[in-house]
Structure 1
Amino acid sequence: MFRELHPNIKIRIYTSFLSRLAGSMVFPFMAIYFTREINAVTAGILLLIQVVVQFLAGFYGGYLADVLGRKKVMVAGEWMKVFSIAGMILANSPSFTSPWLTFFMLVLLGISMGIVNPAAEAMLVDVSTKETRTMIYSINYWSINLSIMLAFIAGGWFFETNFFELLISLLAISVFILWMTKAKIEETYVPEKKAANSFSFKPIIKSYAAVLKDLPFILFTVGGIAILSIEFQRNHFMAVRLEEEIPKQLFSVWGLFPVEMTGVRLLSLLTIENTLLIVLLTAAVTKWLKNKPEQKMMYLGFTIFGAGYSVLAFSNSIPILITAVLIMTVGELLYVPSRQAILADMIDETQRGSYMAMNGMVFQAGKIFGVLGIMAWEAVGGLGMAVLILLFTFTGIWSSRLAILKRAEKKEQGKIKRVDAAS
């Protein structure tokens, strides 16, 4: 089945794997770099600026993908990525080090990713079909998790001692991805000719105003934010809770290989378990999902995912936490490809870039709620957070269900209008 997919899809999966493999060896550790070179407070501010700039660039990139076509925007973004990584190498060479030049290049890199990602997402929708999307997103999700797992191992081992060499490897992979994008990817969307002022802010605002008026899509986005807000609790309130509440203790499986377990180590263990399970179970779950109703699978996935995370919110039993991660991962494997496939059916094909850029709000808003979770936990405790997670799960299901019903209603009204016009 994979061999029969459009070449663009296969190329994008390969390049996305390589890009995340190389990038995740470096970028998750940049807080350490800026803390070491400047200070912790400045490091946090700089990285926040980079995230905001990338988020805003995504809106412009999504609009450009609808105005210029997918390939042109992706190639331009990949060129910018190569230039920014080359600048980071210059700023961290054996004879010259500049954290401020590194930051400037990191911001430029964020802009490049903001430009590339919506165009690439729109391109995947262009060349996929309703029958293949669940499988495509499952494979892509598996690829992402495998690359991140391998990259974290390599980055954790080499970042502090071989940062310069990691940047060189990142540049080499980025040049290869640029070549693949330029030489192998086919254009999938030829836009109508635009007026001379197409690149000013007015048409951009008009484009996104149209997206914001699409109530079913906005409701679906709200549902996505509710679910992603749960996932982002792991690296925020749950990390703090486990560090404070899990005492040092010996842990072993069936009395074998006892190790000293702390809250931080347990969080790392649970994260590795989640990633490994995704890598190992994706093929089986994807096969099982074939011909299953996407909506039911998404709702089931939301429910199982929320139930697993609600246990993680309060339990201090290591075996129970490990079991909860297994449950949560199964839910994740069910809802991620199903939701992506439904999302692809909900967006206007003439504005796919803008819609996919707007969908990026799901991740950014989820991160914000993740940070707020720490304060909420201080106020309501672990059991209170478990209840809040279940409420967010219900919100995700209800909002997504309402969005799908309104989309169907909107389509039905459109059919009636066409019939009336024809008669």
Structure 2
Amino acid sequence: MMKEFLQLDRNLKLRMLTMFLVAILNSSVLPNMTIYYSHYFGTLVTGGLLIAVSVASFLAGLYGGHLADVYGRKPVMIGGGLLIAVGYAVAAAMNSPWIHDPQVTFIGFLVAGVGSSGANPAEQAMIIDASTPANRQYVYSLSYWIVNISVMIGSALGGWFFRDYLFELLTGMIVVSIVNLGIVSLGMREIEHATAAVSNSLRSLVHAYREVMTDQRYLLFLIGWVFACIISSQPDYYLAVHLGADFHPTTIMGLHLYGQRMLSMVTITNTVMIVVLMGVFTRISRGWRLARTYTLGVTLSALGFASAFVGDRFWPLILSAVILTLGEMFVVPSSQTLRADMMNPARIGVYSGAMMAVNPLASVIAGLLVSVSGLLDNWGMAAVMILCGLASIGLVGRSAGMPATY
């Protein structure tokens, strides 16, 4: 594994480092901001603020993808990095010992979110530019492993420091964002890539995304990936509801577990397995057809969540967590590699930008499923997971078998 890492392009090695830093940055602060906003603005206003951030981030991702094709990956990444640093600086200043302003704090985080989302398609495009079909699955497996480690670290930092040391935490985040910006500016190089983008105008942007939406193969993949994301998003949606309502409290090794803690146990099981076993699964699946790996992964994920929805005891739920995590370790690298292979080399930025629509759409559908779960009960929701898995496998499998049309 180390030998393969050392053979990677310099941009990929540095991208792994920046990915590690950014994931720590995001996971230490962002999950706790909902609590922060709720405290100062109330739940109704907080919901509106979160929607505003989601919409702004989505639009920034679309435009950032187009700009990555017009100006190149590195300038867009630098621009996004500057916005992140400025946003965190504003947020830190507004939570300092001298000033406290939650309204301006929101603006700071909005600026940082726009910068992060705007740079994301360029970051994804740079990975594709710097990798090869032979090493791309390894690159995505490695990046996924790194993100999980950094999320563990970032979550611990946020949980420990957010409430009582927010200013100090945000100051540390400024330092991290500046270091990240320096790595991109001084260490990375722009890789020559084919591009069909000639203008940064709104008309050119609309034309570029219209081309993506007429690529039937990629469109089928996106729709199939929406169904997979509905499955993977369940810890934040129905699984949390189910465990809160139906889990039978128990004591394991002196630790009293109830619904919320059981959800944490599922998350911990998932993260630890990925950190420990991701390399093994990368070697196991190497040489497999990507569509086969994806099918196996989605099948296990759907079965894992379906069984979790009908489970209400500790050990069956841990087994479900193991199954869904096994699926996740197959799904993520194979899906990212399939996606990269389907992109028009001249439109990688906007193809990456189009992916920005998937998670918001999956989140909306997952939320609607929570709303109708009272009519479906646990077994009905388990059946929905199986149907989502079948739909994802069918659509992605069909797209993988189609010839390129660009």
TM-score with structure 1 setting the length:
0.93
The residue aligned with 1:288 is 284
Shift of 1:191: 6.2
The residue aligned with 1:4 is 7
The residue aligned with 2:45 is 42
Q: Tell me the distance in 2 between the aligned counterparts of 1:405 and 1:75.
A: 37
Shift of 1:22: 2.2
The residue aligned with 2:311 is 315
SS class of match (2:310)? coil
Q: Are 2:236 and 1:235 aligned?
A: yes
Task: Write out aligned runs for 1:220-259 (5 A).
Answer: 220-250=221-251, 252=252, 257-259=253-255
Q: Which segment is superposed worse, 292-301 or 1-10?
A: 292-301
Contact map agreement 2:269 2:321 (CA 8 A) in 1: yes
Shift of 1:227: 0.6
Q: Tell me the distance in 2 between the aligned counterparts of 1:153 and 1:390.
A: 34
Task: Write out aligned runs for 1:14-25 (5 A).
Answer: 14-25=17-28
Partner letter of residue 278 of structure 1? Answer: I
Contact map agreement 1:233 1:373 (CA 8 A) in 2: no
Q: Are 2:300 and 1:304 aligned?
A: yes
Q: Tell me the distance in 2 between the aligned counterparts of 1:194 and 1:354.
A: 9
Q: Are 2:35 and 1:32 aligned?
A: yes
Contact map agreement 1:149 1:272 (CA 8 A) in 2: no
Q: Tell me the distance in 1 between the aligned counterparts of 2:16 and 2:152.
A: 16
Q: Are 2:373 and 1:385 aligned?
A: no
The residue aligned with 1:113 is 116
SS class of match (2:255)? strand
Contact map agreement 2:250 2:314 (CA 8 A) in 1: no
SS class of match (2:265)? helix
SS class of match (2:223)? helix
| Equivalent residue for 1:148, pick from 141, 146, 151 | 151
Q: Which segment is superposed worse, 185-194 or 47-56?
A: 185-194
Q: Tell me the distance in 1 between the aligned counterparts of 2:291 and 2:26.
A: 34
Q: Which segment is superposed worse, 229-238 or 344-353?
A: 229-238
Q: Are 2:324 and 1:341 aligned?
A: no
Partner letter of residue 216 of structure 2? Answer: L
Q: Which segment is superposed worse, 126-135 or 358-367?
A: 358-367
Contact map agreement 2:69 2:195 (CA 8 A) in 1: no
Task: Write out aligned runs for 1:165-244 (5 A).
Answer: 165-189=168-192, 198-244=199-245
Q: Tell me the distance in 1 between the aligned counterparts of 2:193 and 2:129.
A: 11
The C-alpha deviation readout for 1:224-274, integer Å capped at 9, x for no partner, is: 000110111221111111111124332x2xxxx232111111001111111
Partner letter of residue 108 of structure 2? Answer: M
The residue aligned with 2:390 is 394
Q: Tell me the distance in 2 between the aligned counterparts of 1:403 and 1:293.
A: 14
Q: Are 2:356 and 1:360 aligned?
A: yes
Shift of 1:194: 6.6
Q: Tell me the distance in 2 between the aligned counterparts of 1:117 and 1:347.
A: 16
Partner letter of residue 26 of structure 2? Answer: G
The residue aligned with 2:326 is 330
Q: Tell me the distance in 2 between the aligned counterparts of 1:6 and 1:368.
A: 38
SS class of match (1:313)? helix
Q: Tell me the distance in 2 between the aligned counterparts of 1:355 and 1:189.
A: 17
Shift of 1:200: 2.1
Instruction: Indicate how the Cα distance of structure 1 residues 69 and 322 shifts in structure 2: closer, same or farther if over 3 A, else same.
Output: same
Contact map agreement 1:302 1:393 (CA 8 A) in 2: yes
The C-alpha deviation readout for 1:51-73, integer Å capped at 9, x for no partner, is: 11001110000000000000111
SS class of match (1:199)? coil
The C-alpha deviation readout for 1:86-107, integer Å capped at 9, x for no partner, is: 1111111111011111111111
Shift of 1:365: 1.4
Partner letter of residue 354 of structure 1? Answer: V
Runs of 5+ in structure 1 lacking a partner?
Answer: 415-423
Q: Tell me the distance in 1 between the aligned counterparts of 2:64 and 2:194.
A: 15
| Equivalent residue for 2:259, pick from 235, 258, 263 | 263
| Equivalent residue for 1:93, pick from 93, 96, 99 | 96
SS class of match (1:93)? coil
Contact map agreement 2:83 2:112 (CA 8 A) in 1: yes
> Cα RMSD over matched residues?
1.4
Q: Tell me the distance in 2 between the aligned counterparts of 1:160 and 1:226.
A: 36
Contact map agreement 2:69 2:197 (CA 8 A) in 1: no
The C-alpha deviation readout for 1:194-237, integer Å capped at 9, x for no partner, is: 76xx2221111000000000010000001100011011122111
Q: Are 2:98 and 1:102 aligned?
A: no
Instruction: Indicate how the Cα distance of structure 1 residues 190 and 387 shifts in structure 2: closer, same or farther if over 3 A, else same.
Output: closer
Instruction: Indicate how the Cα distance of structure 1 residues 288 and 192 shifts in structure 2: closer, same or farther if over 3 A, else same.
Output: closer
Shift of 1:355: 0.2
Q: Tell me the distance in 2 between the aligned counterparts of 1:109 and 1:69.
A: 21
Shift of 1:348: 0.3
SS class of match (2:134)? coil
| Equivalent residue for 1:351, pick from 347, 357, 363 | 347
Contact map agreement 1:227 1:393 (CA 8 A) in 2: yes
Contact map agreement 2:195 2:347 (CA 8 A) in 1: no
TM-score with structure 2 setting the length:
0.96
Q: Tell me the distance in 2 between the aligned counterparts of 1:172 and 1:121.
A: 24
Instruction: Indicate how the Cα distance of structure 1 residues 194 and 383 shifts in structure 2: closer, same or farther if over 3 A, else same.
Output: closer
